[in-house]
């Protein structure tokens, strides 16, 4: 009996293990995600009811078949045939009604999820192999800025994402906040959602896009409007100046090496747009699209051998001496 109880507890834990967390459609923290959660549970309960009904009918049929097998003279009466026809017809009609009801429910829920909002925060998200470029749009050019692999949003305000892809098809999915939406080269799709609770949520590319598809995450950080505004103002400012000689040497190495041919650091001569904008890279939680936590050590590891950490990505190995690597990693870690 004790073994059975342990087994039941273990089964419950396994079933519920994915029902919460920072990447779960069953732990919604946005209006659109709550609508989708309701749709999921409707499908689950209807499917469960259908399965239970089918199993019950099957059990009855098997029992009657067993009883009839012992009665060699059994012949189905006209009354029995009529009941059978009525049962089959009822089952067919119930199937049609259930399928139509689920189709209409799904359509209505999808329309509610994709509805537009007034005065949303406009963000352009571009998918690359294998990272995300996030640009905060504004009617005033001096208020536009770009970050990578991390999105800050204010709680309670609608966010409208303009989604596009630069190379292959990607798909943006933040399960706690909204449904999936594809990013297709040459086409712009949109996704609107509103975070109802502050927190950090994990978004993921949900369309296979190459060998590093699994390593293409994006953090969505929902915070109070005041905290978001402070963050936005910090992102509009140029990169901080080096605080010591080591960081100054790191800046010199960065701008003189091929690094500056791919990346931007506002306030320096590095102004390329092939790779992620690194102006405030030290303030981000992760590098490599969720691959490593942002520390000086992880930055050094990534710079020294990006192909070992994320094979196939577009960053080449840049030959640096040990002193140059230490200086560059110190400089980038300080860019907050």
Q: For position 313, what pLDDT does the model report? A: 93
Nearest to 97 by CA among 54, 53, 46: 46
Higher pLDDT, 155 or 95: 155
pLDDT band at 109 (very low <50, low <70, confident <90, very high): confident
pLDDT at 225: 95
pTM over 0.95: no
Based on DSSP, count helices (H) and strands (E) in the chain, helices before strands. Answer: 8, 12
pLDDT score of 227: 96
Across the chain, what does the average pLDDT equal? 87
Local structure of 176: helix, strand or coil: coil
Is the per-residue pLDDT at 277 higher than 80? yes
Label the pairing between strands 145-148 and 181-183.
unpaired
Confidence at residue 112, expressed as pLDDT on a 0 to 100 scale: 66
Query: Mean pLDDT lowest for which of 64-73, 160-169, 178-187?
Result: 64-73
* pLDDT (mean) for 171-181: 92
User: Could you tell me how many residues make up the chain?
Assistant: 336
Q: Looking at residue 236, what is its pLDDT?
A: 95
pLDDT tens digits for 218-268? 999 999 999 999 999 999 999 999 999 999 999 999 999 999 999 999 999
The C-alpha atoms of residue 276 and residue 294 are separated, in whole angstroms, by 14
Instruction: Please give the pLDDT value at position 103.
Output: 85
pLDDT for the residue numbered 85? 79
Q: What is the pLDDT of residue 154?
A: 96
What are the backbone angles phi and psi of residue 36, rounded to the nearest 5°?
A: -70, -35
Cα dihedral 221, 225, 231, 237 sign: positive
Q: Would you call the peptide bond into 154 cis, given omega within 30 degrees of 0 as the criterion? A: no
Q: What is the pLDDT of residues 116-154, one digit of tens each?
A: 677 899 999 999 999 999 999 999 999 999 999 999 999
Mean pLDDT, to the nearest integer, of 295-312? 94
């Amino acid at each position: 009996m004790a073994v059975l109880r342990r087994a039941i507890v273990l089964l419950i834990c396994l079933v519920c293990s994915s029902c919460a967390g920072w990447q779960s459609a069953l732990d919604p923290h946005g209006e659109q995600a709550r609508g989708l959660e309701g749709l999921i549970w409707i499908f689950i309960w209807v499917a469960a009811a259908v399965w239970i009904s089918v199993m019950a009918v099957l059990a009855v049929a098997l029992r009657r078949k067993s009883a009839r097998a012992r009665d060699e003279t059994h012949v189905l009466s006209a009354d029995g045939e009529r009941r059978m026809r009525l049962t089959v017809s009822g089952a067919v009609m119930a199937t049609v009604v259930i399928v139509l009801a689920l189709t209409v429910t799904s359509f209505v829920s999808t329309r509610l999820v994709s509805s537009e909002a007034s005065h949303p925060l406009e963000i352009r998200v571009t998918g690359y192999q294998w990272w995300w470029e996030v640009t905060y749009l504004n009617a005033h050019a001096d208020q536009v800025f770009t970050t990578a692999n991390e999105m800050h949003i204010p709680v309670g305000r609608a966010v409208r994402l303009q989604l596009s892809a630069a190379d292959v098809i990607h798909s943006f999915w933040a399960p706690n906040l909204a449904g999936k939406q594809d990013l297709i080269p040459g086409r712009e799709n949109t996704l609107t959602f509103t975070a109802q609770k502050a927190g950090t949520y994990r978004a993921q590319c949900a369309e296979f896009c190459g060998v590093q598809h699994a390593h293409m995450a994006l953090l969505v950080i929902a915070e109070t409007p005041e905290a978001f505004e402070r963050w936005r103002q910090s992102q509009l400012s140029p990169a901080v100046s080096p605080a010591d000689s080591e960081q100054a040497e790191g800046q010199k190495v960065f701008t003189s090496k091929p690094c500056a041919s791919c990346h931007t650091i506002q306030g320096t001569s590095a102004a390329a747009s092939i790779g992620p904008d690194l102006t405030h890279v030290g303030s981000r939680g992760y590098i490599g699209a969720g691959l490593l936590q942002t520390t000086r050590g992880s930055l050094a590891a990534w710079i020294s051998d990006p192909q070992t950490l994320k094979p196939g990505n577009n960053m080449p190995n840049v030959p640096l001496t040990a002193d140059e690597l230490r200086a560059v990693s110190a400089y980038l870690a300080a860019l907050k």
